[in-house]
Amino acid sequence: MEDVKAIIIPTGTKAKISHELSFPIGAEKISMALASTKQLPLLVLHFRADYYYRVRFGHYPFLRVACSGAKKAISPLSANGIPLFNEWEIAVMPVPRVFRHRIQQYILNVALPQVKQWLDERVHLTHEGNDMLTFFFNEEKEEFVPEQSSHPQPIRETKRQD
C-alpha cells in the first residue's frame, strides 16, 4: 500500500491575537477537507487578527475564501517565503474562546463543504476582479450567516484600427 502524503495548505501569515480569542480551526483540518479541489496547490492560508474589533459587536466573520482574478506582478513575501497576496486565499479570523468549539463544528460540517463547492465552481475562472465567500456568526441571534460577494471587472474589448 502506498503512503500518501497529505498536502497542507501553506500559511502565509498568522497574527497574534488576544488570549480571550482563538482561531476556530487550523491548517490541517482545512487542508483535509479541501484535498480534492483543483486549487489546493494554489491556496494560501492566512490567520488574520480582529483588526476592526468585530468580535465586540457580536456579528463577526470567522472564515473567508477569496479569489482575486487580477494577477499581481510583484507580491511581497512573508517571513516564511510565501507570497502575501495570492490569487486563491483562505482567511481564518479569531472568535471568542467560548464559541470556538461550536464554530469549529459548523466549519467542519457546513462551511468547508460549501467552500469546496465554491472552489469547484470556479476552477476555470478567468475574469479579473474579486469573488468571495465569507461566513459570519451572529451572537445575538445565535446563527451562522454565509455571504457571497462578487466584484468582477468588466471585460473591455479593444477597438481595432484598420
18 within some domain: yes
Q: Which of 59, 75, 125, 115 is nearest to 91 (CA)?
A: 115
Greater confidence (6 vs 77) lies with 6
2 within some domain: no
6 within some domain: no
- pLDDT single digits (tens) 37-71: 999 999 999 999 988 888 889 999 999 999 986 55
Range of the domain at 31: 11-151
75 within some domain: yes
Pairing verdict, β 59-68 and 88-92: antiparallel
157 within some domain: no
Total number of domains in the chain? 1
Q: Do 40 and 9 touch, CB atoms closer than 8 A?
A: yes
161 within some domain: no
pTM of the complete model beyond 0.85: no
Q: Please tell me the distance from the alpha carbon of residue 145 to that of residue 26, in angstroms, as a whole number.
A: 21
159 within some domain: no
- pLDDT single digits (tens) 28-46: 999 999 999 999 999 999 9
Q: Please tell me the distance from the alpha carbon of residue 111 to that of residue 22, in angstroms, as a whole number.
A: 18
100 within some domain: yes
Instruction: Give every CB contact of residue 106 below 8 A, 6+ residues apart in sequence.
Output: 135, 137, 144
